[in-house]
């Protein structure tokens, strides 16, 4: 399956990209995406799928848009 990963804020530096389409095996989870892109300082983070919260163990679906962001605090 193919998903789109969007990286937010300072995580872009360690990921090396801000948005990319990624091919994954069926059954891949959110945490497997995090492992794949190898963020250096991944915590604390918040992941969303299509604008809704995504938990590490949640299975991904073809066409998902996954957003990985620091836990912002609103300035």
Partner 1 sequence: MTGWTGRVLRVDLTRKTSKVESFSEDFARKWVGGRGFAAKILFDELAPGIDPLGPDNKFIVALGPIAGIPAPNTGKAVVAAKSPSTGGYGDGNLGTRVAEHLRKAGYDALIVEGRAERPTLLLIEDDKVEFLPADAVWGKGTYETNDWIYAKYGKGAGVLNIGQGGEKMVRYAVVRSLEGRAGGRTGMGAVMGSKRLKAIVVKGTKPIPQADPEAMKKVGSEDLRKVHQVDKETGWSIQSTNGVLAWCNEVAALPVRNFRKTFHADAWKVDGERLNNARVATYGCPNCTMRCGITIHDAEGRESELDYENVALLGPNLEIFDLAEVGSLNYLCDDYGIDTMSSGCVLSFYADAIDQGAVAGRFKFGDAARAKALLGEIARREGDVGNLLAEGSLRAARTIGKGSEAYAMQVKGLEVAAYNCKFIPGMALAFGVAPIGAHHKESWVITFELKQTSRESYGPEKAQKVIDLQRIRGGLFEYLVSCRFPWIEVGWSLDNYPKYFKLVTGLDWTLDDFWKISDRIYALMKLFWLREYPRTDRKLDYPPAVWFDPENVDSEGPIAGKCLEYDKYDGLLQHYYDIRGYDKRGIPTKATALALGLADEVAAVEKIAKLT
Positions in the binding site for partner 1 (CB under 8 A) = 6, 8-14, 18, 41, 46, 48, 50-53, 65, 67, 69-75
**Residue located via tokens 């605090």:** 73
Comparison of 25 and 53: residue with beta carbon closer to partner 1: 53
The least distance separating partner 1 from the CB of residue 65, rounded to whole angstroms, comes to: 8
Residue 1 CB-density burial (10 A; 0-12 exposed, 13-18 middle, 19+ buried): middle
Angle ∠(9,14,10) on CA atoms, nearest 5: 15
The least distance separating partner 1 from the CB of residue 28, rounded to whole angstroms, comes to: 20
């Amino acid at each position: 399956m193919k998903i789109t990963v969007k990286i937010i804020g300072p995580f872009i530096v360690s990921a090396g990209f801000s948005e990319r389409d990624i091919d994954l095996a069926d059954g891949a989870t959110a945490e497997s995406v995090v492992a794949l892109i190898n963020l250096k300082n991944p915590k604390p983070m918040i992941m969303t799928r299509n604008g809704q919260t995504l938990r590490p163990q949640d299975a991904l679906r073809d066409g998902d848009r996954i957003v990985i962001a620091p836990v912002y605090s609103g300035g």
